[in-house]
Amino acid sequence: MPYDEDRLITAPDDPEAPRRMARMRELGLTSRPDQEFDQFAARLAQITGAPYAMVNFVGDQEQYFAGLYTPSNSATSSALEAAQASAHGSPGRTMALDHGFCPHVVVRRKALVLDDVCDYPRFAGNPVVDKLGIRSYLGAPLIDRTGTALGTVCVIANEPRPWGRAGLETIKSMAAELMTLVQERADQLASANRQRYP
């Protein structure tokens, strides 16, 4: 496995990236904040009791939080912005592919439950553990009707969390709900285009 600046690169091999990028363009998913996805992330945080929630689309160069919920005036919220700034030059919604666990969920195409990331050597060395203090993760892939994994819905916490079977079922259900929303929006866009260009 390759090394970068004295640390192991933790981004998974992702041969599906070109197909995913093409499918996101077809669905009208862009790298900009989306109010509806922000509201979805806020609801996800409320349902799971997690302090952070995201709707994350994984690109070929970086991951993008189209929906993001963070607690206001939080030291960790500032840490999230600082980590993003160091990787990308300015605070925002992007994160490198070797930061976090969502790229692994997309490649695996399965939900990932990490009650305590430090219990899993494969994930304990991820940069977000030290930079952001992330200790717990729960995420599920967003798989559209063509079978393309587009990204994730996920929640994180700064302390270990016993997500359990209920957490797993909740995150999978929320991923399915979000994909229904994405598909409805894509169908509306296609219908509008057909009316505009008959």
Q: What is the predicted pLDDT for the residue at 177? A: 97
Q: How far apart are CA 66 and CA 30, in angstroms?
A: 8
The pLDDT score that the predictor gives to residue 139 is 97
The pLDDT value recorded for residue 92 is 60
Burial of 87 (0-12, 13-18, 19+ CB in 10 A): middle
Contact (CB, 8 A) for 85 and 91: yes
At 35 the pLDDT is 92
pLDDT value, residue 79: 53
Cross-strand pairs, 64: 57, 94
CATH assignment of the domain containing 90? 3.30.450.40
Check residue 48 and give its pLDDT. 96
Distance CA 120, CA 133 (A): 15
Cα(197)–Cα(193) distance, rounded to whole angstroms?
Answer: 6
Q: What is the pTM of this model?
A: 0.83
Q: Which of 85, 86, 198, 95 is nearest to 156 (CA)?
A: 95
Instruction: Enumerate residues 6+ apart whose C-beta is below 8 A from 53.
Output: 41, 42, 44, 45, 67, 68, 69, 153, 154, 155, 156
Number of domains observed in the structure of the chain: 1
Give the structural domain span for 135. 3-196
Predicted local distance difference test score (pLDDT) of residue 71: 84
**The pLDDT of residue 185:** 87
pLDDT in tens, the chain (198 residues): 333 334 444 678 888 999 999 999 988 888 888 999 999 999 999 999 999 999 999 999 999 999 999 887 344 455 555 544 444 333 368 998 988 899 999 999 999 999 999 998 888 888 888 888 899 999 999 999 999 999 999 999 999 999 999 999 999 999 999 999 999 988 887 787 777 776
What does each C-alpha distance from 90 to 1, 13, 100, 123, 128 come to in angstroms? Answer: 29, 27, 18, 26, 17
Predicted pLDDT at 37: 95
User: If you count them, how many residues does the chain have?
Assistant: 198
**Are residues 18 and 60 in contact, defined by beta-carbon separation less than 8 angstroms?**
yes
Q: Which two tokens stand for residue 26?
A: 């077809």
